[in-house]
Amino acid sequence: MTPSHWYNIVPDLPAPPPPPLHPGTMRPVGPDDLAPLFPAELIAQEVSGDRFVEIPQEVLDVYRLWRPTPLMRARRLEKALGTPARIYYKYEGVSPAGSHKPNTAVPQAYYNARQGVRRLTTETGAGQWGSALAFACAQYDLECEVWMVRASYDQKPYRRSLMRLYGATVHASPSSVTSAGSKVLAEEPGSPGSLGIAISEAVEVAGASDDTRYALGSVLNHVLMHQTVIGEEALEQLPEMPDVVIGCTGGGSNFAGLVFPFLREKLAGRISPVLRAVEPEACPSFTRGVYAYDFGDTAGFTPLLKMHTLGHDFVPDPIHAGGLRYHGMSPLLSHMYELGMFEAVATSQKECFQAGVRFARAEGIVPAPEPTHALAETIAEALRCRESGQEKVILTALCGHGHFDLAAYDRFLGGEMEDFSLPEERISAALSTLPVIRTPSP
Amino acid sequence: MTPSHWYNIVPDLPAPPPPPLHPGTMRPVGPDDLAPLFPAELIAQEVSGDRFVEIPQEVLDVYRLWRPTPLMRARRLEKALGTPARIYYKYEGVSPAGSHKPNTAVPQAYYNARQGVRRLTTETGAGQWGSALAFACAQYDLECEVWMVRASYDQKPYRRSLMRLYGATVHASPSSVTSAGSKVLAEEPGSPGSLGIAISEAVEVAGASDDTRYALGSVLNHVLMHQTVIGEEALEQLPEMPDVVIGCTGGGSNFAGLVFPFLREKLAGRISPVLRAVEPEACPSFTRGVYAYDFGDTAGFTPLLKMHTLGHDFVPDPIHAGGLRYHGMSPLLSHMYELGMFEAVATSQKECFQAGVRFARAEGIVPAPEPTHALAETIAEALRCRESGQEKVILTALCGHGHFDLAAYDRFLGGEMEDFSLPEERISAALSTLPVIRTPSP
């Protein structure tokens, strides 16, 4: 059964997360600051103290197109690994856009439509988030305008086609339709773009028009909350409770969606799983970043967020898991990590693709590069169980399929894939540009 | 529930289909003729008189990775069309290879593995069948060698990558590893290949080696029978019985898999749906072909099959629905069409893509070009219901997703897609080369 409510973990925490700060005043950002960008209902959810938020019927009517998603036991993978562990995976790739992203794109589009918004803008890298939002906008007759990082726009045409098929307008970013984009183009006509620039363009267009708002695909509290449908369904579907829950982290929405419901049960003393986030070695915000106030974007237009960060200047190496190439981390998850509520590890790109190939050959599904991080750690855990003889129950989230990533698999199978080392100096250089937090004047 | 048996419609027919003939002797082909190419169990299924064949546990263990597949009501499409009709679709795109093809690839690989075969060969056009067989071979530790038509090999690299990811060896056809391929290359070094040439190469390699067999993805009786899991599940999942069942036809396996179980119930007098096959206007074997003995391949290496055919010399225009570009039709379905057991219509490419876009925007799933044929007719039927006010129940099969066909959707949305007209002279020219059937000498 698809759940009837999203779960908001904030009121269950031992302490609330630090608030976002306005970079000018250094005071907490309030609802009014956010109103030009987000509809009232989402702003209310962002700061809500309710433990459960009812999912509107109009959202359930769209969730029904692919939810509940399958929870599968990976029996053939277990056998191939020779492990006594029992491995379960929750598969979000059955959604129309092929990932977990529509879980939040749909309610975001719905609340905007209900408030009379006519158009949504957003940025996208490889296109997972953009295609999810394009699909969601088609469901509620909203226009959708996406700024797609130029490098991906040119190299990965198929997710661009998917957005257009759903009716969205897709711009290569930097574009000449915004002043932010025009400025970059004037300085560097052949700019390959960046997520930071694309955010600036989408935010500029949303802010300039009364009937237009902006949508974000991860990081924020309400986005994480929408994703808890993943974990709620898994709790209900699992025939036995997990000893270990493993998910990949970029901005944090997939991991939070999977683990928050299990954390609620753990806080209530009903279960006691180990929870583990897996990030790329090339972008290790939990394992090598600092916990500090930083900008959410490269250009420094967003509020200051207290989070695990590698510095907003940090540009991750071009790993194929585009969805995990983010310098920061959800402030809520960062706060919880500081409270010791879950673990984090980092894996290398080759190890991840090796896990992806192993999984595809055993279970059939081709995983997107992002969830291969969780699979690599799941396989490592299962192999440790083979050594120790422990019959652990492992749960992981397969948050998307890799149908648009086969060129990357080809490179891996052809022996052409690289791993990236990340010297300490690169991280400290990026961290040296962290904003200085001044105490606000009274 | 995934069914426990496949349904063999042959014993339920009022008359048996005419047998395949050996082109040399003009006598019916016997099991011994087929033994170099197929394992004994599949040959037995090809000529079986049993109404039901039990699905082996080892096959069910793999079906379980994606079966039962979803049966969905297309409520949002109904609303968009303003129709009183109720539309249901059975979605086979959730399989690992993304189409209905693994339903037969898995048992074919299994029976070969059980007989001690070490390697399977096959041909593939755009790659749907090849990737299904590559996946199936990975499940039973068989080697898989695929000859992929050169034009697709170069233009559609992603299904090629998918086959390699599952561990298969993929050759561009014509290839220099067979004498059939070498001969073509000697005459035309830059040959784009054809399905006919690729079949010759795969058959040559299978026939030359004791531990190697050949696998076919449609047309044959046992292939159609394996696909009946689609219709059996739909019968069980539907909350109400259909008035119309609509499926697309190329070689016939998707259509047969959907309708045979409904035909059984119809023959028993329990239901009375209209059954309708939809084929491309560019390759209309039912609606404009003849019912005659013809070769199954272009080169004339196969037995003679009594079927609806456009002539084995007929080369269909390059529509995007590669899986429907076959000059002939399943002999079993052809026989049943002659008996008046179902209807057939043809649709144009643009009408199909228009239906695909409509469906994707309403229901989220991007259909492969093949099932857009069934969707175009489903939408046409639903619009006729809007005119007449009839509340018909329509069932269709969405036999695969279009994640590897987004370039075609881009062309359609950009106004660059062509329709093909098929003058009568082209058909009569191809039909003039039909083989002459001599009465065998006693």
Domain layout of chain B by residue ranges:
57-98+222-431, 102-216
Phi and psi angles of residue A186, each rounded to the nearest 5 degrees, phi first: -65, -40
Q: Are A296 and A436 in contact (CB under 8 A)?
A: no
Judge: B361–A94 Cβ closer than 8 Å, yes or no. no
How far apart are the C-alpha atoms of B215 and A138, rounded to whole Å? 42
Q: To which H or E segment does residue B169 belong? A: strand B169-173
Buried b (16+ CB within 10 A) or exposed e, A10-30: beeeeeebbbbbebeebeebe
Q: Dihedral (C-alpha) B283, B288, B294, B300: value to the nearest 10 degrees?
A: -30
**CB-nearest partner of A162 from B75, B362, B366:** B366
CATH number of A102-216: 3.40.50.1100
Q: What angle do CA B223, B227, B229 make, to 5 degrees?
A: 145
Closest chain B residue by Cα to residue A168:
B361
Position A241: which residue type?
M
Q: Dihedral (C-alpha) B261, B264, B268, B272: value to the nearest 10 degrees?
A: 70
- Which structure tokens are listed for A376? 């690599």
- Which structure tokens are listed for A166? 């759903």
CATH fold group of domain A57-98+222-428: Rossmann fold (3.40.50)
How far apart are the C-alpha atoms of B378 and B103, rounded to whole Å? 24
Q: What are A's interface residues with B at a Cβ cutoff of 8 A?
A: 61-62, 65-66, 72, 75-76, 94-98, 102, 135, 138-139, 157-158, 161-162, 164-167, 357, 360-366, 403-404, 406-407, 409-410, 413
Query: Is the complex ipTM higher than 0.85?
Result: yes
Alpha-carbon dihedral sign for residues A348, A353, A354, A358: positive
Q: Dihedral (C-alpha) A115, A120, A124, A130: value to the nearest 10 degrees?
A: 80
Distance from CA of A360 to the nearest CA of B (A): 7
Question: How many inter-chain contacts (A to B, CB under 8 Å) are there?
Answer: 102
Distance from CA of A96 to the nearest CA of B (A): 5
Distance from CA of A136 to the nearest CA of B (A): 9
Q: Are A146 and A124 in contact (CB under 8 A)?
A: yes
Closest CA to B257 of B232, B293, B283, B291: B232
Contacts of A158 in chain B (CB under 8 A): 403, 406-407
How far apart are the C-alpha atoms of B442 and B426, rounded to whole Å? 37
Residue-by-residue pLDDT tens, chain B, 442 positions? 899 999 999 999 999 999 999 998 999 998 898 999 999 999 999 999 999 999 999 999 999 999 999 999 999 999 999 999 999 999 999 999 999 999 999 999 999 999 999 999 999 988 999 999 999 999 999 999 999 998 888 888 899 999 999 999 999 999 999 998 999 899 999 888 888 889 889 999 998 999 999 999 999 999 999 999 999 999 999 999 999 999 999 999 999 999 999 999 999 999 999 999 999 999 999 999 999 999 988 778 789 999 999 998 888 888 888 888 889 999 999 999 999 999 999 999 999 999 999 999 999 999 999 999 999 999 999 999 999 999 999 999 999 999 999 999 999 999 999 898 899 999 999 999 898 887 766 5
Place of tokens 């047309």: B219
Asked if the domains B57-98+222-431 and B102-216 are classified in one and the same CATH topology, the answer is yes
Closest CA to B309 of B199, B392, B427, B154: B427
Distance from CA of A177 to the nearest CA of B (A): 21
Fill in the DSSP letter of residue B211: T
Judge: B413–A158 Cβ closer than 8 Å, yes or no. no
**CB-nearest partner of B167 from A98, A361, A406:** A361
CATH number of B57-98+222-431: 3.40.50.1100
Residue A392: C-alpha distances to residues A124, A240, A377, A388, B362 (Å)? 38, 11, 14, 10, 42
